[in-house]
Structure 1
Amino acid sequence: MSTQTPAPADRSFNRSMLVKLCVVAVMMFGFGFALVPMYRAICQITGINNLVQRDVSAREAKNTQVDMSRTISIEFDANARGPLGFKPEQRSLDVHPGEVTTVMYEVSNEQARSIRAQAIPSYAPKQATEYFRKIECFCFTQQMLKANETKRMPVVFVVDTKLPKDVKTITLSYTFFELDTPAAANADSAAPTANTAANSARPI
């Protein structure tokens, strides 16, 4: 049985295709590295990466001059995703720019199992985001809640005195959501049951 030698045209086409594929692979590899600084730049511009980080230290906040001539109305909102009860202990209050203020939120795990959850803040109007300074916040870390556990959690904040004069009201809204999916938790809880069933089916 004879083996047919590829024609010169075919060999040329194969080499050309191989070169093109190598170039595409190198470009994709380089693009993957380029995404890192691009992501950092986008986060810096939009402030996404700063949403769950401390905005100002307690010492810096205490050294800020309080503007007693202005009063800002702060409204508090709460949303939950998953088996969580979540609410602020007060819906609104008035503060002076530069004044350190503490408010409390309450979160409840309404399931008979432990869950891991995270809160993400948002602000309205959008321009107020950079002037609402969180000193302490439960959103800085993930929260572990035992079965049917309820927690009271503080938010310590200060409104920057540089807040534009036309902003009279700021709405602070949190969305609290479960990080571990119920499907994964059910699978973990079902595993011992399956093992027990298998053991009971074995002959003695």
Structure 2
Amino acid sequence: MSNDVSSPQEAQSDRAFNRSMLVKLVVVAGLMFGFGFALVPMYRAICSITGINNLVQRDATAREAKNTQVDASRTISIEFDANARGPLQFKPEQSSLDVHPGEVMTVMYQVTNEQGRTVQAQAIPSYAPKEATEYFKKIECFCFTQQTLAANETKRMPVVFVVDPKLPKDVKTITLSYTFFELAAPKSVAKGGGGA
């Protein structure tokens, strides 16, 4: 004779197992949510420690740069590049510049908002070769802050920099490239429009 009906002990054991599994799943879901929530501060802390993606911190102060010894025996070619995303025209006013390590230099960039509305934008720098990143010190840069451009406004923006004399001798050219992009494009320029 087969026993298809489970005993009260088995039913109670199943309920205990189900409760235990539910508690475990809730704990795992809570931990996953907490980890996702903690990713942003963890990312910022890692970037701060490693110096990666650090947009708002100056690489050197003007005083530190002026105290740097100029190495007149070396010349480094700095190439300037610009890319824009969204309704912006963006370019350096000169494509390259020869500098001596330790020499404080200024280059100008120009950005134009081609829209009939105000645009909030941010520039992100990158360097080539990658090992030059820690030796290219920006003292003043439009990339340190968000930029607000009025409708059809053009701005000239400086980058004041110095190349650290400790730059490896085999690096003869550094490319400084900026990507300028709109931070939050409006969902719709005009609302409504239809209805009589």
Could you state the TM-score of these two structures normalised by the residue count of structure 1?
Answer: 0.82
1:70-96 Cα deviation digits (max 9, x unpaired): 100000000000010100000001000
Out of 87-96 and 33-42, give the one that drifted further: 33-42
Question: Quick check: 1:87–1:105 contact (8 Å CA) kept in 2?
Answer: yes
1:11-50 Cα deviation digits (max 9, x unpaired): 1222221231243145335635764674245424653232
Question: Quick check: 1:52–1:121 contact (8 Å CA) kept in 2?
Answer: no
1:65 maps to which residue? Answer: 69
Structure 2, gaps ≥5 residues long:
1-7
Is the counterpart of residue 121 in structure 1 residue 125 in structure 2?
A: yes
- Residue 128 of structure 1 and its aligned partner are, at CA, apart by 0.3
1:138-193 Cα deviation digits (max 9, x unpaired): 000011001111000000000001000000000000000011214x252xx325x5
- Residue 117 of structure 1 and its aligned partner are, at CA, apart by 0.5
RMSD over equivalenced CA pairs, Å? 2.3
Question: Quick check: 1:88–1:104 contact (8 Å CA) kept in 2?
Answer: yes
| SS in structure 2 of the partner of residue 49 of structure 1 | coil
1:190 maps to which residue? Answer: 191
Structure 1, gaps ≥5 residues long:
none
CA distance in 2, matches of 1:99, 1:125: 20
CA distance in 2, matches of 1:51, 1:146: 23
Larger helix fraction of residues: 1
- Residue 111 of structure 1 and its aligned partner are, at CA, apart by 0.8
1:180 maps to which residue? Answer: 184
CA distance in 1, matches of 2:120, 2:31: 39
Could you state the TM-score of these two structures normalised by the residue count of structure 2?
Answer: 0.86
Runs of 4+ aligned residues of structure 1 deviating over 3 Å after TM superposition are 29-38
